[in-house]
Amino acid sequence: MAFPVAAISTLAWRNLWRNHRRTLIMLLAITVGVWAMIFMASLMRGMTDQMVRNGLQTLPGEVQIHQRDYLRDPSVVNSMDAPGGALLARLQEAPVAAWAGRVRVPAVIASERGNRGVTLLGIDPVAEAALGSLPDELVAGRALDGPGDRGLVIGANLARRLETAVGKRVVIMSQDTQNNVAERGARVVGIYRARLQGSEDRYVYAGRAAVQDLLGIGERISEIAVTGHDYRNVAPWVPRIAAAAGTGLEVLPWTELDTFLGSMLVVQDGFALVFMVVVFLALSFGLVNTLVMAVFERVREIGLMQALGMRPGMILGQIMLESLYLLLLGLALGNLLALVTVKPLESGIDISSVAQGMEMVGMGTTLYPVLHTADMLMSTTVVIVLGLLASLAPAWRASRLDPVAALNKT
């Protein structure tokens, strides 16, 4: 005899609504629980996403190519030739969305009022703009107009510390390939504001050719930054770039360049799962109580079902199905609620009141929640799997009732 799904489904659904109030309260609890799971996950995803994007936009790119010794000693000594041949061809085809070759060296910037250690970046502004790694907001002066621009664009915080401004001259110093001091005066042409104050202090932008000229390295560069279309999915195309780059160069994805950021994704998945499980554990008490009460109130009826010839497995199935209906309804409503509450917030939540604290973890003043289908699926899986597990005990007890005792229950 086949399992009578239709018969059991009808019974389970109608039994669910026998006590409207209890079912609605439990449904509300599941809905709010599911919403909380997805909403919190979207906030966490938004935080991590922003941390990673900020991290990637402040220069690394999703993949970097440099000399094998560059990371150990990021000086001009470990520079590389501008890309050509097979590597250039590879950089110009999908899935590469943009790339930029840049000179990046430690330097000192000095004004008449003070000096600071900085990272000097010789860039091609057009290529960097395509990469999305230029500062967001220019607050004074102008942007660099090309690789040959001999002016400097510095951060607002650095300008404040150096007590300098647009139009003033500063001195920039670094080391050339012979370890001699290379220095020249340059005019501040622009002042930028970055999402992270630390970036404003650290990065000084100049035309790439001007920096190459300062360091006497000809056309050589320090690194090539590359981006694709999804920072979460760079692993498949890194080997192809590496093959084209040859053995003398190192090609690293951002997860290896910044292991803290890289580990954030994994840690966040774990946090989201733990949070969902904790929320559901709290919910499960209510769910089990609802089912225990439902079984307790229907002991005679369950005895009758047994007397009529329903096997224990069918009774178990009926109670489990009742629980499943409740869970599915709660999931549908919870997901819907999450959708209508998170979507409007995706344009950003102002968290400027805690901006200083958030900056320490690489975040700006606005939090952008991100609703991931994967999180909705994860919460659905957690709720269904744990929900059915929690329902097993009352369902099992119901299926094992002694029919005579059940029928005689008053």
Partner 1 sequence: MTDISCRNLCKTFHQGDATIRALDDVSLDIEEGSFVCLSGPSGSGKTTLLNALGGLDTPDSGEITVGGQRLDLLSKSELAQLRLNRIGFVFQAYNLVPVLSARENVEFIMQVQGVRARERRSLAAAVLAEVGLEDMEERRPAQLSGGQQQRVAVARAIASKPALVLADEPTANLDSRSAAQLMDLFVTLNTERGVTFVISTHDPRVMGYAGRLISMRDGRIVADERQQPHAMAV
Q: Give the type of residue at 253.
A: P
Q: For residues 304 and 329, which CB has a smaller minimum distance to partner 1 in the complex?
A: 304
Residues 230-259: x/- map of binding to partner 1 (CB under 8 A)? ------------------------------
Nearest to 153 by CA among 214, 76, 211: 211
Task: Choose one: 126-134, 247-255, 299-307, 323-331; the region binding partner 1 (CB under 8 A).
Answer: 299-307
Nearer to partner 1, 132 or 403 (CB): 403
Question: Least distance (Å) from partner 1 to the CB of residue 314?
Answer: 7
Site for partner 1 in 314-353 (CB under 8 A): 314
Q: How far is the CB of 227 from partner 1 (least distance, A)?
A: 60
Q: Are 20 and 290 in contact (CB under 8 A)?
A: no
# residues near partner 1 by CB under 8 A? 26
Q: Which of residues 6-45 bind partner 1 (CB under 8 A)?
A: 6-7, 10-11, 14-15, 18
User: Measured from the CB of residue 14, what is the shortest distance to partner 1 in angstroms?
Assistant: 4
Minimum distance, C-beta of residue 329 to partner 1, in the bound complex (Å): 17
> Could you tell me the smallest distance in angstroms from the CB atom of residue 26 to partner 1?
18
Segment interacting with partner 1 (CB under 8 A) among 2-10, 146-154, 269-277, 325-333? 2-10
Position 312 contacts partner 1 (CB under 8 A): yes
- Minimum Å gap between C-beta 406 and partner 1 is 10
**Which of residues 264 and 401 has its CB atom nearest to partner 1 in the complex?**
401
- The residue from 94, 309, 350, 373 that contacts partner 1 (CB under 8 A) is 309
Does residue 299 belong to the site contacting partner 1 (CB under 8 A)?
Answer: no
**CB 326 to partner 1: min, Å:** 16
CA atoms within 13 A on the CB side of 393: 11
Rounded CA separation 298/295 (Å):
5
Residue 306 makes contact with partner 1 by CB under 8 A: yes
Find out whether 7 and 315 touch, Cβ atoms under 8 Å. no
> Does residue 182 contact residue 174 with C-beta atoms inside 8 Å?
yes
Q: Any contact of residue 307 with partner 1 (CB under 8 A)?
A: yes
311 binds partner 1 (CB under 8 A): yes
3-state secondary structure the chain: CCCCHHHHHHHHHHHHCCCHHHHHHHHHHHHHHHHHHHHHHHHHHHHHHHHHHHHHHCCCCCEEEEECCCCCCCCHHHCECCCCHHHHHHHCCCCCCEEEEEEEEEEEEECCCCEEEEEEEEECHHHHHHHCCCCCEEEEECCCCCCCCCCEEEEHHHHHHHCCCCCCEEEEEEECCCCCEEEEEEEEEEEEECCCHHHHHHEEEEEHHHHHHHHCCCCCECEEEEECCCHHHCCCCHHHHHHHHCCCEEEEEHHHHCHHHHHHHHHHHHHHHHHHHHHHHHHHHHHHHHHHHHHHHCHHHHHHHHHHCCCHHHHHHHHHHHHHHHHHHHHHHHHHHHHHHHHHHHHCEECHHHHHHHHHCCCCCEECCCCCHHHHHHHHHHHHHHHHHHHHHHHHHHHCCCHHHHHCCC
4/286 with CB nearer partner 1:
4
Q: Cβ of residue 19: shortest distance to partner 1, in angstroms?
A: 11
The correct pick among 22, 300, 372, 409 for binding partner 1 (CB under 8 A) is: 300
Give yes or no for residue 293 binding partner 1 (CB under 8 A): no
- Complex with partner 1: residue 284 or 306, whichever CB lies closer: 306
Report the nearest approach of partner 1 to the CB of residue 290 (Å): 17
**Contact positions with partner 1 (CB under 8 A) in 386-405:** 403-404
To partner 1, the closest distance from the beta carbon of 1 in angstroms equals: 6
CB 125 within 8 A of CB 145: yes
Q: Name the segment binding partner 1 (CB under 8 A); options: 19-27, 42-50, 114-122, 308-316.
A: 308-316
Q: Note the residues at the interface with partner 1 (CB under 8 A).
A: 1-2, 4, 6-7, 10-11, 14-15, 18, 300-301, 304-314, 403-404, 407
